[in-house]
Amino acid sequence: MTYGFMTIFWRDMIRFVRFKTLLVSSLLQPALWLAFFGIAMSSNFDTLTAGLPAPAGSHVVGYLTFMGCGIIAMTTLFTSLFGGIVILFDKNWGLMREILASPMNRNHIIFGIGLSGVTKSFIQAVIIMAFGILIGTAFFAGFTPLQAAIGVAGILAFVAMFALGFLFLSAAIAISMESPEGLQGVITLLTMPIFFASNALYPIDTFPEILKIISVYNPMTLLITGIRYFAIGPDFISLGKHYVYTPMDIAWAFGGLVVFSAIMFAFAYWRFRKAVVT
């Protein structure tokens, strides 16, 4: 059983490494977002908020740092939602029919795809953090080496749980679709509201009440809360807003992602049990 699970994982990772264009673009795209969009927007926002007072004991972080955490989350979202496309390709090429007919437990297909997607998200998250520090973000500023190591581990734990949830969702959608165009349309429809109804690029305090409620329970908002806590700290100011995160806030955010991933796995498991590939 373990062999089948690892086969799905290694097959997807080998494909990821061998397709050089896909590999390079998936690693460079988030860095380019941070370099061009981040630097351009930070110069404007930092100028607008330069004169705002800061409470005693809090440190001010620039918009590049604030948005950099959102870029990690955005990249994880895109990578995870498109992770299921490999299942659709396998369906179209006839390989999925052979996999489903094998003695392998169908759970192993879901977990194999999930683990490969999480591994890709880890690689991208580490690259964004390293590149962000290189171009001036304040990730782990003032942290001791031990605190920085704990911060990286905490970020990756949040990234893993978030990525698993959306990889399971993507797998469930892919096994139900017949064409890449249909899958891409559904993913595009999901991506925009999830991304923009979050605190990735701006605070959510001034959102309309209904949108604010949606944003609070948005898995992406929960992810970004964890990333900012571990990358910046529990008490900071950005865009004129004072952010204070308690350990309970972080535990609640991580617990929300655990529940989300469990629900998405149940959905994917149900879709795979019903799947019939001809």
Q: Percentage of residues in the chain with pLDDT exceeding 70?
A: 84
Residue 201 is predicted with a pLDDT of 85
Lowest-confidence range among 49-53, 122-126, 198-202, 263-267? 49-53
* Domain span at 134: 2-274
Residue with more model confidence, 237 or 183 = 237
Residue 1 is predicted with a pLDDT of 46
Output the 3-class SS for the chain. Answer: CHHHHHHHHHHHHHHHHHCHHHHHHHHHHHHHHHHHHHHHHHHHHHHHCCCCCCCCCCEECCHHHHHHHHHHHHHHHHHHHCCCHHHHHHHHHCHHHHHHHCCCCHHHHHHHHHHHHHHHHHHHHHHHHHHHHHHCCCCCCCCCHHHHHHHHHHHHHHHHHHHHHHHHHHHHHHHHCCCHHHHHHHHHHHHHHHHHCCCCCCCCCCCCHHHHHHHHCCHHHHHHHHHHHHHCCCEEEECCEEEECCHHHHHHHHHHHHHHHHHHHHHHHHHHHHCCCC
The residues facing 238 across adjacent strands are 241
Q: Is the pLDDT of residue 49 over 60?
A: no
Q: 85-98, pLDDT tens digit by residue?
A: 777 776 766 666 66
Q: How many domains does the chain have?
A: 1
Residue 241 is predicted with a pLDDT of 84
Residue 34 is predicted with a pLDDT of 78
What's the pTM value of the predicted model, to 2 decimals?
Answer: 0.88
